[in-house]
Amino acid sequence: MTPPVDAPEAGAPAGLRIGDLTVGVPVVLAPMAGVTLPPFRQLCREAGEAALEPSARASSAVGTHAPAGLYVCEMITSRALVERTPETMRMITPDPTDPVRSVQLYGVDPVTVGRAVRILVEENWADHVDLNFGCPVPKVTRKGGGAALPWKADLFEEIVRTAVDSARDASRSRDHEVPVTIKMRIGIDDDHLTYLDAGRAAEDAGVAAVALHARTLEQHYSGNARWEAITRLKEAVTTVPVLGNGDLWSAEDAAEMMRQTGADGVVVGRGCQGRPWLFTDLVAGALGSDLRVRPGLREVAATLRRHAELMVDHFGDESRAMREMRKHVAWYFKGYPVGGDARRAFALVSTLAELDDLIGLLDLDAPYPGEGAEGQRGRAGGPKRAHLPDAWLDSRAIDEAWAEVLHQAELSVSGG
């Protein structure tokens, strides 16, 4: 295991203030559906903390200070939370060792979003609430949610303001005010950009930070992230932190984004899939250290095995846990000498015993493979047609009929 990072060098990036929260290192794990479950968040957080000196790890006060970044829960639908579906309550159940519990909410109805925020804050489920306005998945955007929603400027502002006011009011019973942040994309397509208007509106509504995935909805995950948009948003939003997201595959990418754009921090998503140890690199890099984790196959397999064990503990159902693990296999083994037959077998694994047997067949002495293990994770694909409600782009306003449609639409995507 690599040694802890020494104290930050002179000139290393300062910590990040998000409302009443102090984030010692300006690094955030992006919420990813089906990926950032509590076990994966724990692995990422532990990797980030491994880059800190013991004194820094011990200095956190629960709910007020996150020494090694924020690690955000996968997206929760506000309707499902208000209805307290069992799966949603499982999803928001935090790791008790996490110093700051971050939950991301999706919603298209201001009243429902406000009620969901109150539950999270009044019942002490979260220390930080993020609002999702960046999801590009068609089942969300065709209902007017996610990355489609900021086009309706009045609805966007009402949702954000309601969430902020609800968090502020519900925080009266807490020892700190729970901040609300947003994550969004730059727009629907090149002809319908929304990020500057949305950023200013969110700032006026009282959010504590704004994060931008520098792609349009139409881009999905294709092409290059347009970091110049982060620069422009930083120029437009001047009183709260602006965080950048998109094409962050290494600590060097994170440093370069912050240098180019002036962003106050970074949000890392796909880059950490199958390599939670990236957060050791990110935290170390932010503290001015050149420490980087370069694991051999033995270390990768051990992390995969621990991830699976944590998943079994989380679900209390080995079969379900192993099904959920299958998607992670290709990410973990990217670039490593694991043949096609072995990869297919791992992708069908159904028990921890099977996983152990398969790991035992690997050449665990294989070293870190270099560049083949780095870079883009997952499938970027190509641009995709934006799936939107009929006539969505005709106006930036919402009338009463549309408000009712959206209220009903939220019911149909709230199965979380």
- pLDDT tens for 20-38 read 999 999 999 999 988 999 9
User: Residue 12: its pLDDT value, please?
Assistant: 43
Best CA proximity match to 39, nearest among 343, 322, 379: 322
Question: Which range (55-69, 70-84, 136-150, 263-277) has the least confidence?
Answer: 55-69
pLDDT at residue 410, as a whole number: 62
Residue with more model confidence, 6 or 126: 126
The whole-angstrom separation of Cα 7 and Cα 241 is: 24
With a cut of 90, say whether residue 412 has pLDDT above it.
Answer: no
Distance in angstroms (rounded) separating the CA atoms of residues 85 and 317: 18
Q: Which residues of 336-354 are buried (b: 16+ CB within 10 A; e: fewer)?
A: bebeeebeebbeebeebee
pLDDT at 334 over 50: yes
Q: CATH 1.10.1200 spans which residues of the chain?
A: 297-373
% of the chain residues with pLDDT over 90: 80
Sign of the dihedral through C-alpha 336, 342, 346, 352: negative
The candidate with the shortest Cα–Cα distance to 128, out of 81, 174, 59, is: 174
Asked whether the predicted pLDDT for residue 13 surpasses 60, the reply is no
pLDDT tens digit sequence for 274-323? 999 999 999 999 999 999 999 999 999 999 999 999 999 999 999 999 99
- At residue 416, does pLDDT exceed 80? no
CATH architecture designation of domain 19-293? Alpha-Beta Barrel (3.20)
How high is the pLDDT of residue 4?
A: 35
Average pLDDT over residues 177-205: 97
Above 80 in pLDDT, residue 2?
no
The band of 384, judged by pLDDT with boundaries at 50, 70 and 90, is confident
pLDDT at 5 over 60: no
Contact 218, 188 (CB under 8 A): yes
CATH topology of domain 297-373: 1.10.1200
- pTM metric for this prediction: 0.91
> Has residue 357 got a pLDDT over 50?
yes
Range list for CATH 3.20.20.70 in the chain: 19-293
Q: What is the mean pLDDT of residues 167-176?
A: 91
Q: Which of 44, 73, 135, 272 is catalytic?
A: 135
SS (H, E, C) the chain: CCCCCCCCCCCCCCCEEECCEEECCCEEECCCCCCCCHHHHHHHHHHHHCCCCHHHHCCCCCCCEECCCEEECCCEEHHHHHCCCHHHHHHHCCCCCCCCCEEEEECCCHHHHHHHHHHHHHCCCCCEEEEEECCCCHHHHCCCCHHHHHHCHHHHHHHHHHHHHHHHHHHHHCCCCCCEEEEEEEECCCCCECHHHHHHHHHHHCCCEEEEEEEECCCCCCCCCCHHHHHHHHHHCCCCCEEEECCCCCHHHHHHHHHHHCCCEEEECHHHCCCCCHHHHHHHHHCCCCCCCCCCHHHHHHHHHHHHHHHHHHHCCHHHHHHHHHHHHHHHCCCCCCCHHHHHHHCCCCCHHHHHHHHHCCCCCCCCCHHHHCCCCCCCCCCCCCCCCCCHHHCCCCCHHHHHHHHHHHHHCCCC
Residue 135 among the catalytic residues: yes
* Residue 397 Cα to chain centre, angstroms: 29
**Residue 303 · residue 317 · CB < 8 Å:** no
The CA distance from 240 to 17, in Å, is: 9
- pLDDT mean over 364-369: 97
Q: Do 33 and 74 form a contact (C-beta atoms < 8 A)?
A: yes
Mean pLDDT of the chain: 90
